[in-house]
Structure 1
Amino acid sequence: MAFHDIRFPVDISLSSAGGPERRTDIVTLASGHEERNSPWAGSRRRFNAGYGIKSLPEIEQVIAFFEARHGRLHAFRWRDPFDWKSCSIAATPQAHDQPIGTGDGEVTQFRLSKTYASGGHSHVRAITKPVAGTVLVAVNGVLLDPTDYSVDISTGLVTFATAPADDVALTAGFEFDIAVRFDSDTLSISLAALKAGDIPDIPVIEVLS
């Protein structure tokens, strides 16, 4: 299998339904108390692209995309309609949006990430598929010139031309996609059902790296 660096049609994915999924194993003890454990370090996104299908041209577009990916075989880029920026959906990414590390005078590579915080707790999510041309980087709040660093859009690694000095704060703002694959080797779409308002089932699932 391979990753095809092509994005699923955004006008369809933005009308999809879905979101993050976590796995939690729960054991109920004889006392009635629970023991809860999660084997997953993070979450995994699932979506149904069928909610975005509104016309025959869109059906044709999805069929072509599905065939070119060989069904479930090859992964591709997907824009999460609810979470695709380093900031809130309504805002514009800024270089101070997300912390990505602290300089030590030696390390030149840092990974893009996004922090989700609520009630004194947080989760840091690695961003591996930033959108080309959208990444802004700052050192101690000062916006860097794009010539001062490079971004690998296939891994989310930021490489500085010169190692950031000791104790300086590194931050970034960006747009990002996620890597997904189709979660079925079959597309079952009825034009008559679509005209009647029925939603086709086109499941996609995040591929974790």
Structure 2
Amino acid sequence: MTFHEVRFPDNISRGARGGPERRTQIVELGSGDEERNASWANSRRRYDVAYGIRRVDDLAAVVAFFEARNGRLHGFRFKDWGDHKSCLPSQTPLPTDQAIGTGDGTMTAFQLMKRYASGSQTWNRTITKPVAGTVRVALDGTEQPTGWSVDTATGVVTFGTAPGAGVAITAGFEFDVPVRFDTDALDVTLDLERLGSITSIPLLEIRR
């Protein structure tokens, strides 16, 4: 499967609905108690972007985008307006937002990550689609304007010189979600005033 490094139109994604999904198996015992088991180690995001279509030009843009992706065939970038930064949505990313590793004097490549915490529980999300020009990196809390690069197609930060042993490596960034259309057909409705709508346009996160 190929991936197109192009983002779904922002003006339409802003009105989308959706979010993370998990898969849990629940068995109810004869006593009324439950046994629960997580089938997935990581969540997967689903969206419906039909809610973002407000005028006929939006409809045309979605149809063109769908055709260029060959329906479900090719993946693409999607901006989740509720979760697209290393920090809170209302804040500006700082180079100390997220821990992405600890230097050992040898390793030069580190994967961007985002940590979700509530109480004593945490979950680390791998970030593979950072937005170009938004990534900031720090070593032991000091921002590094040079000496590293980031692959915006994989989210891997690579240093020219390996960070020293015990050095805390952190990063701040904006990011997109890698998704694909979850349908091969668009059900388009046109009325007499040339306004258009599509009942549902489901998107599904691609997990690699």
> TM-score scaled to structure 2, two decimals?
0.96
CA deviation profile, 1:116-175 (whole Å, cap 9, x unmatched): 000111100000000111100000000001x31010111111001100001111100000
Superposed displacement of residue 196, structure 1: 8.5
Counting only pairs closer than 5 Å after superposition, residues 52-131 of structure 1 correspond to structure 2 as 52-131=52-131
- SS of alignment partner, residue 130 of structure 1: coil
Counterpart AA for 1:180: V
**CA, structure 1 residues 195+22, in 2 after alignment: closer, same or farther (shift >3 Å)?**
farther
Give, in whole Å, the separation in 2 of the partners of 1:119 and 1:195. 52
Give, in whole Å, the separation in 1 of the partners of 2:204 and 2:174. 20
Superposed displacement of residue 192, structure 1: 2.4
Count of matched residue positions in the alignment of Structure 1 and Structure 2: 208
CA deviation profile, 1:183-202 (whole Å, cap 9, x unmatched): 11010121329989976311
**CA, structure 1 residues 195+82, in 2 after alignment: closer, same or farther (shift >3 Å)?**
farther
Q: Which residue number in structure 2 is paired with residue 25 of structure 1?
A: 25
Give, in whole Å, the separation in 1 of the partners of 2:194 and 2:87. 37
- SS of alignment partner, residue 129 of structure 1: coil
**CA, structure 1 residues 149+105, in 2 after alignment: closer, same or farther (shift >3 Å)?**
same
Q: Is the 8 A contact 2:47 2:203 kept in 1?
A: yes
> TM-score scaled to structure 1, two decimals?
0.95
**CA, structure 1 residues 73+193, in 2 after alignment: closer, same or farther (shift >3 Å)?**
farther
Q: Which residue number in structure 1 is paired with residue 42 of structure 2?
A: 42
Equivalent pairs: percent with the same residue?
55
Q: Which runs of 4+ in 1 moved over 6 A?
A: 193-199
Structure 2's unaligned 5+ residue stretches are none
Give, in whole Å, the separation in 1 of the partners of 2:181 and 2:44. 14
Superposition RMSD in Å:
1.7
Q: Is the 8 A contact 2:187 2:198 kept in 1?
A: no
Q: Which residue number in structure 1 is paired with residue 150 of structure 2?
A: 151
Q: Which residue number in structure 1 is paired with residue 188 of structure 2?
A: 189
Q: Which residue number in structure 2 is paired with residue 7 of structure 1?
A: 7
- SS of alignment partner, residue 50 of structure 1: helix
- SS of alignment partner, residue 65 of structure 1: helix
